Amino acid sequence: MNKTIVITGAGGVLGGTLARALAKEGYKIAVIDLKKEAADNIANEINSSGGNAIGVEANVLEKESLESAKRIINNSLGSCDILINGAGGNHPLGTTSNPYFQESDLANSTSGFKTFFDLDPAGIKFVFDLNFIGTLLPTQIFAKDMIGKKGCSIINISSMNAFTPLTKIPAYSGAKAAVSNFTQWLAVHFSKVGIRVNALAPGFFLTDQNRTLLTNSDGSLTQRGNQIIEQTPMGKFGEPDDLIGTTLWLCSEGSNFVTGIVVPIDGGFSAYSGV
Ligand code: NAD
């Protein structure tokens, strides 16, 4: 195996898990993250278990930063064969306090309580930029390496919210819907040059990003955590390792005729009507 995989946001929980798993399969891994230390930690871990990785600091929202990362990666690992756009996330400023609007909310509105009318455009923009622009820009930079090569592909990270929006998080839901839509658009656009484009749609994974939303300090489930488990036929949260099999498949020749799909990895959440 002489392929190089670039993973953005790979200093985080899910990207880091994919980086370790793909390195074990023999891929060379460029671990990109805004946080240099987080990227280096994952790369060091991979290298000390016999893999080949480098940690690179870059901001997925800045073209120059990505271009400079690309130069470093090309010099030490060669050109990019596979790009995994893993950087993404939500922001409290794009989130309402309650799932449903009540007339009394307006009168009761105190500082910190957010109705739909209080949503901050800056918060919405942050979330749209991070998830959508943060997928588009790295693709513009790294997909150039894939032109004229064989066996190249791009994997984006969408979410359950993209199929049906979750309450309280309109910005994140809309931004991930844009990621799914872009995955299909790009799959068609790149179909004549042999670059496949697919996405993972993880269900609910207990990570630092959502731990306080889904669990109380004693480890018991919050009301929202309970709702999610009840809506998940398999009756549990996913483990980061649950993303590995689908990712290996989408990176490999086994999925040579697969492009433009968004794969739910969700314990049946998206298939279940609730009844
Ligand atoms: P995480 O917060 O652990 O990791 C995200 C990483 O992205 C962090 O290391 C962070 O430093 C990095 N990052 C943030 N902004 C960046 C920027 N501008 N440039 C470069 N790097 C940046 O999150 P995670 O749970 O591992 O999520 C990874 C992806 O999976 C995200 O797109 C997230 O939206 C998506 N996702 C997560 C879940 C879940 O349950 N955790 C579910 C569905 C989708």
Assess whether the C-beta atom of 207 lies below 6 angstroms from ligand 1. Answer: yes
Q: Average the pLDDT over 72-87 and give the result.
A: 98
Assess whether the C-beta atom of 175 lies below 6 angstroms from ligand 1. Answer: no
Assess whether the C-beta atom of 86 lies below 6 angstroms from ligand 1. Answer: yes
Q: Reduce the DSSP state of residue 215 to 3 states and report it.
A: strand
In whole angstroms, give the CA distance from residue 44 to residue 51.
Answer: 9
- H helix intervals, 143-233: 170-189, 211-214, 223-231
The yes-or-no verdict on residue 110 having pLDDT over 80 is no
ipTM of this complex: 0.98
- Is the distance from CB of 189 to CB of 259 less than 8 angstroms? no
Those residues with Cβ within 8 angstroms of residue 275's Cβ, 6 or more apart along the chain or in another chain: none
Query: Which tokens go with 144?
Result: 């150039």
pLDDT digits (tens, 9 = 90+) for 11-39: 999 999 999 999 999 999 999 999 999 99
Mean pLDDT of the chain: 95
Q: Which atom of ligand 1 is nearest to the CA of 89?
A: 34
Structural domain boundaries of the chain? 4-95+122-206+238-271
- Determine the topology of domain 4-95+122-206+238-271 in CATH: Rossmann fold (3.40.50)
pLDDT of residue 132: 98
